[in-house]
Structure 1
Amino acid sequence: MPPDTRVRPRTVVTLLLAVLVTAGLLALGTWQVKRLFWKLDLIARVEARVQAPPGAIPAPDEWSDFDPATQEYRHIRLSGTFLHDKEVLAQANTILGPGFWVLTPLIQADGSVILINRGFVPPDRRDPATRTDGNPSGTVDVVGLLRLSEPKGAFLRSNDAATGRWYSRDVQAIAEAKGLPADKVAPFFIDADKTPNPGGYPVGGLTQVVFPNNHLVYAITWYSLAGMLMAVIIVLYRRRQI
């Protein structure tokens, strides 16, 4: 008796499902490849900004059109006077251990105010009285990287301005808490570079410019799953098990 060569409905359904799932896996792999090239381009652009000579900070009349995608991590130079009485400490975890970021407003000659992350201090230096040597007066020059405000908090904890507990560098909230004029405060802050401060603190230059890039691994995973699924379907079909 000749073998049954008819295609069973179950086989048709299984093959259609396998094709759809395979197509989905291939689409995910292709999307990850596109993300890979986007991430590599982003890393290259950011690296170019970080390594470029320091330039001027965006002027106040440019703040309304501020574009985070093209401005973050720009190498900046500015000058002004620190408002040390408006200092805020935000919790930090760094390569030097846990402690605080010292965030101090700097007022420029035109009256605009830029929040400066002057650097890290350990818990035993959180009191400004323990680092008076590191609080320069008069006009100072600051060089650093432009960073974006962090309004959503950090580590699943919300800032508490009333008690002075800050877990993220939320520029607008800090400005409001310290009574700074909202129309004069820049919508970003500056991470100061590693230029030493008198007395050793705060310690600047700790910006981590890191972009996780696992897209190639993800792409290989999705493509591999697609290949394995098709191989299994072919084997089962040839054995007439589907």
Structure 2
Amino acid sequence: MFSFRMASLRFLLTYSSKLLPAFRKQCPAINFKRTIFLPRYPKSSNGRFVNFQRLHSDSAAASTGKREDSFLKWFLLLIPVTTFGLGTWQVKRRQWKIGLINELQRLITAEPVPLPLDPLEVNQLEYRRVKVRGCYNHSKELYLMPRSLVNPEKEAREGGIFSSRPEVGANVITPFHCSDLGITILVNRGYVPKTKIRPETRMKGQVEDEVDVVGVVRLTEARKSFVPNNDIEKNRWFYRDLEAMSDVTGAAPILIDADYSSTIPGGPVGGQTRVTLRNEHLQYIITWYGLCAATSYLWYAKFIKKIKL
């Protein structure tokens, strides 16, 4: 892709520098308009007649050609200037993205705080760790699918629960009654493989006792164009719709992702919060600055060194 852009820019620079002179040769009317109103007064010099109108026409044509070449020269300089500006903008964008990633990492590793009761206050805590205490209602489990295990090699090896192969499965979302707050919320308990989606295949994970849960606050998300609609009747959820999930389960529209410490042998595996953000700005920086360097050299060679390209 980079070599293609370079070839295209070089062709543009070369072709544009040849275009205007060729256009002038094919359009003599330009010079004619500049001289049509000049009277013809031939004068004798050493027995020969001199046509001052023709001399003026040639001088005007040369002056016009110089002005057009100068315009082309400075117009083409916009290419390296623009690519340099785009490269500098990508540098700033990369710094912003790195800062955002670091902030998210700080939030999900900070000390947990109590979950507030006010939903508006909860909405301000996205990616913030909170702690609650209560009991699960396993009879109203929801299944968010298809999902793969976050960092499967590391977590599977440490937990000794599933194979390290990235098998497709689901995230189990379970209503959780907070005994200390008196409300029921939704907890994403984590990942289970396809073979363990049904509760009877992981009975050890169906905890009945009161437990403490630390998790990351997640908000509802809009359905992307390529994501299917949630199938409520079949209990197949493809994206987080907290309003619909709360209607089905009777819980408040509050969801937290349980952290990895909640993992139970047999599943689910906690810690399934994905905080990775696309950061491709470095390759954009290299591309734009590379184009700037290449087009700057071509411009210098053509208009300063007068090298024939």
User: Which category describes the TM-score, using the shorter chain as reference length?
Assistant: 0.7 to 0.9
- Aligned residue in 2 for 1:159: 230
Q: Secondary structure at the match of 2:261?
A: coil
Question: Given the superposition, is the C-alpha separation of residues 37 and 66 from structure 1 closer, same or farther in structure 2, using an over 3 Å criterion?
Answer: same
Question: Given the superposition, is the C-alpha separation of residues 224 and 30 from structure 1 closer, same or farther in structure 2, using an over 3 Å criterion?
Answer: same
**Equivalent runs, 1:146-225 vs 2, <5 Å:** 146-153=217-224, 156-176=227-247, 178-180=248-250, 184-186=252-254, 189-195=255-261, 197-225=263-291
Aligned equivalents of 2:227, 2:67: Cα separation in 1: 52
Aligned equivalents of 2:74, 2:140: Cα separation in 1: 66
Identity rate, percent: 33
- Equivalent of 2:131 in 72, 77, 87: 77
- Aligned residue in 1 for 2:91: 33
Higher mean C-alpha displacement, 145-154 vs 228-237: 145-154
CA contact (8 A) 1:22 1:226 kept: yes
Aligned AA (1:102): V
- Aligned residue in 1 for 2:171: 101
CA contact (8 A) 1:113 1:185 kept: no
Greater strand fraction, Structure 1 or Structure 2 = 1
- Equivalent of 1:63 in 120, 140, 143: 120
Name structure 1 gaps, 5 residues minimum: none
Q: Give the CA deviation at 1:14.
A: 2.9
Aligned equivalents of 1:89, 1:190: Cα separation in 2: 15
Aligned equivalents of 2:109, 2:263: Cα separation in 1: 22
Aligned equivalents of 2:70, 2:195: Cα separation in 1: 71
- Aligned residue in 1 for 2:16: none
CA contact (8 A) 1:43 1:211 kept: yes
Aligned equivalents of 1:105, 1:10: Cα separation in 2: 74
Question: Given the superposition, is the C-alpha separation of residues 158 and 12 from structure 1 closer, same or farther in structure 2, using an over 3 Å criterion?
Answer: farther
Q: Give the CA deviation at 1:7.
A: 5.7
Greater helix fraction, Structure 1 or Structure 2 = 2
Structure showing greater Rg: 2
RMSD of aligned alpha carbons: 2.7
CA contact (8 A) 2:91 2:285 kept: yes
- Aligned residue in 1 for 2:24: none
Q: Give the CA deviation at 1:136.
A: 1.5
Q: Give the CA deviation at 1:241.
A: 5.6
Q: Secondary structure at the match of 1:17?
A: helix
- Aligned residue in 2 for 1:239: 306
CA contact (8 A) 2:148 2:191 kept: no
Greater RCO, 1 or 2 (C-alpha within 8 Å, sep 6+): 1
Name structure 2 gaps, 5 residues minimum: 1-61, 153-165
Q: Give the CA deviation at 1:198.
A: 4.5
Q: Give the CA deviation at 1:169.
A: 2.5
Count residues with an aligned counterpart: 230
